Chain A
Amino acid sequence: MRDFGGRDAAGGGLLLLVACLLVALAAYALPRPIAGDVVAAIRRTFLRPVVALQERAERDRTSRFRLGEIQAERDSLALQLLADSALRSENAQLRAMLAIRPRPTPRWTPVEILHQTTPTDARALLVGSGSDEGLARFQPVITPTGLLGYIWSVGPRAAAVLTWMHPDWRASAVTGDGAVMGILAPVTVGSSGHALLELRGVALRDSLPLGTLVFTSGLGGVYPRMLPVGRVSGVTADPLGYERRYLVSPFANPATASHALVLTEPVDPRIATVPAVDSAP
């Protein structure tokens, strides 16, 4: 008879532990696209009730604690729209006189951000909307204050957003006057561990004063032009001395954002779409 409480049980436990470690290591070594597919598949099947429950909780919290804040935001927006109405009317008349076509209005989907308690939550956010609401991979995600990131993986009812805090995140950026361009990448600053962005690849001849606003440049086809990203807050040294690097304090904080907008329409009609393989000559 087997001794289930003795050496056999201990051996079985060790075997189970080693098997679990091997599975975890295999998952850790998965390439990012495959991992994204696995994440989306499990999220839309086994974890669907969990996401729905958390989304419901988020809605309850918003209606319970944030109603006053939302009403204040709506009132401020209404006042601003009233103040800008004359300007918009003049702009439309000028465009008509110069035969410039109207600026395309971006389509967007509002999403609720479902925060988790893990320390890496701000790098990859879960949102309670998915392909059923028109979300797709690589769509930009913004908050009222600025750029947050892009859709990394998507399922029917939920999606994951790769934010600017993620080590793999990059964006092409430009200053407000369009004179200086560079690439934005996340950095951890000093001993405080504060997360900021770094504007890299700025030519040595260009210098930026502190407080300069930084926007997306529209290059790369993921983010549209002139989405506000942040403000120049410092200078860092390039270890090779070939370029200037600036610290940028982002406007949007992924750790505290509760709602966001996903731009679902092709955001810049000037960006050519890549032809499908079948239609290629």
Chain B
Amino acid sequence: MSNVWTGEGPRRRRASDKLRVTIVSGIVVLMEFYLRPSLVEGRGMPDFLLLALLLLCLRLSPGAAALAGLVVGLVLDILSPARFGANMLAHVLLGSGAAWGRAVFFADNLAVNSGVFFVGTGVRNLLVLGLSGSALARLGLEATLWGPLQGFTTAMVGVVVVLLFREWLAIRIER
């Protein structure tokens, strides 16, 4: 046939990449709502929903990432309605921030991804607590103990997910 480049190949590849990332995110969401509650409970447990959001947002534009953050925040506001809207605001800011950071600063490798998972969890927790009207001492405890603990466990699970699905997520492991 013709040798003229029509752009069909890359476009199809981009669509399949999005499908793969969506499938991985879907598996992580299932882990959040079935695997984690059926195994263990308590503070500091990995947040699979946040992990799925960050995996998505690192591959989306800031606007689309904000929309994803809004949906995840709404789900969390419905399931844990301590202060309606706090999770939505926090996740919109976090999602768009992660997407913007990915476009401007972040390299696409395992260490940076795990760092994003760790910092993202801590920042999300502080934002939600701050928007829910928590006392300063409670924010301090979150910043020094629970936030880093949950960030660590989330980052560890994130590393495992990235290693398992590295081909699908197109992340460079060796660097």
Beyond A17-B63, A53-B34, A188-B137, 4 extra complex contacts between A and B, CB < 8 Å: A39-B77, A57-B35, A117-B50, A166-B82
Q: B76 near A: Cβ within 8 Å?
A: yes
Expressed in whole angstroms, the minimum distance between the Cβ of B62 and any Cβ of chain A is 5
Q: A36 near B: Cβ within 8 Å?
A: yes
Expressed in whole angstroms, the minimum distance between the Cβ of A33 and any Cβ of chain B is 11
CA separation between A190 and B66, bound complex, in Å?
Answer: 36
Number of A residues whose C-beta is below 8 Å from B? 62
CB contact under 8 A between A118 and B41, given known A12-B63, A191-B140: no
Report B-chain residues with C-beta under 8 Å of the C-beta of A167. Answer: 133
Beta-carbon contact of B63 and A123 below 8 Å: no
- Which of B41, B75, B81, B85 neighbours the largest number of chain A CB atoms within 10 Å of its CB? B81
Beta-carbon contact of B141 and A54 below 8 Å: no
The secondary-structure label for the interface of chain B is: helix
Q: B169 near A: Cβ within 8 Å?
A: no
Q: B74 near A: Cβ within 8 Å?
A: yes
Q: A184 near B: Cβ within 8 Å?
A: no
**B residues engaging A (CB < 8 A)?**
32-43, 45-50, 61-64, 66-67, 69-70, 73-89, 92-93, 96, 125, 128-129, 131-135, 137-142, 146-147, 150
The answer, among A58, A120, A188, for a CB contact under 8 Å with B82, is A120
Beta-carbon contact of A114 and B84 below 8 Å: no
Q: A192 near B: Cβ within 8 Å?
A: yes
Report A-chain residues with C-beta under 8 Å of the C-beta of B129. Answer: 119-120
**A residues engaging B (CB < 8 A)?**
9, 12-17, 20-21, 23-30, 32, 35-36, 38-39, 42-43, 47, 50-51, 53-54, 56-58, 60-61, 64, 114-121, 123-126, 152-153, 160, 166-167, 188-193, 195, 255-256, 258
CA separation between A35 and B74, bound complex, in Å?
Answer: 12
The answer, among A17, A166, A189, A256, for a CB contact under 8 Å with B66, is A17
Expressed in whole angstroms, the minimum distance between the Cβ of A89 and any Cβ of chain B is 41
Beta-carbon contact of B38 and A117 below 8 Å: no
Beta-carbon contact of B88 and A23 below 8 Å: yes
